[in-house]
Amino acid sequence: MTTNAQSSLATHPISPKNIQKWVKIIILLFLNVIALDAKPSQEIPPISDQSHTLFEIQSLYIRSKTNTNYHIQIAKPHAPAPQNGYPILYMLDGNAFFPRALDIFISIWRQYPQITIPIIIGIGHDSPLAFDTKARTFDYMPTLDSQLAAKFSGGGGAKDFLDFITTKLLPHIHKNYSIDSQKSAFFGHSFGGIFALFVLFNAPQTFSHYISASPSLWWGEASFIPTRTPLLTHYPTSIIITRGSKEVGKDTEVINAQKLALTLSQQSPNPASVVYIELEGKTHGGSIPDAMSVAIKNLLCAPNLCPIPSKK
């Protein structure tokens, strides 16, 4: 055995050229992994069979006042509504996140079957893509002054998108479903996390629970964050800001997620209602399932029922 191994090494020596070849391969593999995290798949995932066992799935399109069509996916539980109505979770990037959110909820529900099955709504764009980059940048990002707009282009539609949600989408949902308005959560990730904060700062009464996952606070140098917010007059039940521990900030990030959470907690009559959660070992894209899990558990679980990653 030793002789064969030595013979093999003698026949195929590890030359400097071979070492360089393998180093290049390893580097390429590493860069591919980074690219996959930075550029998510544009393929829309299918809705699983298990989701249909718990939910009635509906898909429709609602047009905004600005003549933009939005793809709305609604998962209504087969179970009858509780006395106070269904808890409800709204998710941005619905094309991509709606199917994933259903599967994540089901995995949590199987562990904790006593939780109420909510209505889950995906707010997506009228696009064959999981993420319509141009449309989501425009809709999710607020207007900037001319100097910043030259540096951070493509945004400016957040006010109109918020108007669509409050004057078109929510009235449709409340007209057709029994909703518990004390348990209505709004989830956004990345640019969607910025829009979740935009709603929080401009219309905090819209939802009771806000989850801003890995908000891209570098965009616009966070100029949309007011020094003081309307939160003192209407404070939500819960505000959660998450971030993966392996996320890397950008030069234009003048405030990070943890500092923002601290600022909001200092303005709150109940500082404990504002939580920053660092998702250990997770990157920007890799943190999405964990952040969704946090959003679902925070909305549905009684205190100390469902474990949530360490709050900081």
Q: How far apart are CA 154 and CA 141, in angstroms?
A: 8
What's the confidence (pLDDT) of residue 72? Answer: 99
Task: Name every residue whose Cβ is closer than 8 Å to that of residue 236 and which is 6 or more positions away in sequence.
Answer: 200, 204, 207, 208, 209, 210, 273
* List of domains in the chain: 47-300 (3.40.50.1820)
Tens of pLDDT, residues 37-58: 456 677 888 899 999 999 999 9
Looking at the chain, the whole-number percentage of residues with pLDDT higher than 70 is 84
C-alpha torsion sign, points 179, 302, 283, 49: negative
Q: What angle do CA 225, 228, 233 make, to 5 degrees?
A: 115
Res. 11: pLDDT tops 50: no
If you count them, how many residues does the chain have?
312
pLDDT tops 80 at residue 204: yes
Res 172 pLDDT > 80:
yes
What is the per-residue pLDDT across 178-201, written as a single tens digit (0 to 9) for each?
999 999 999 999 999 999 999 999
User: Residue 20's pLDDT is what?
Assistant: 56
pLDDT digits (tens, 9 = 90+) for 229-281: 667 678 899 999 999 999 987 766 778 899 999 989 988 888 889 999 999 99
Statement: residue 4 has pLDDT above 90 = no
Closest CA to 285 of 257, 247, 250: 247
Q: Which residue has the tokens 């991509």?
A: 96
Residue 32: the pLDDT is 38
User: What's the mean pLDDT in 217-227?
Assistant: 88
Q: What are the tokens at 74?
A: 């609604």
Nearest to 165 by CA among 118, 211, 206: 206
Please say if the pLDDT value at position 295 is more than 90: yes
Average pLDDT, the chain: 86
Res 151 pLDDT > 60:
yes
- pLDDT (tens digit, 9 = 90+) per residue, 74-128? 999 999 999 999 999 999 999 999 999 999 999 999 999 999 999 999 999 999 8
Q: Look at residue 14 in the predicted model and tell me its pLDDT.
A: 53
| CA dist list (Å): 191 to 171, 200, 251, 256, 312 | 25, 14, 17, 14, 23
Least confidently predicted of 46-50, 134-138, 248-252, 308-312: 308-312
Q: So what's the pLDDT on residue 15?
A: 57
Q: What is the pLDDT of residue 252?
A: 62
Give the pLDDT of residue 300: 97
Distances (CA, A) of 240 to 115, 189, 277, 294: 20, 12, 7, 9
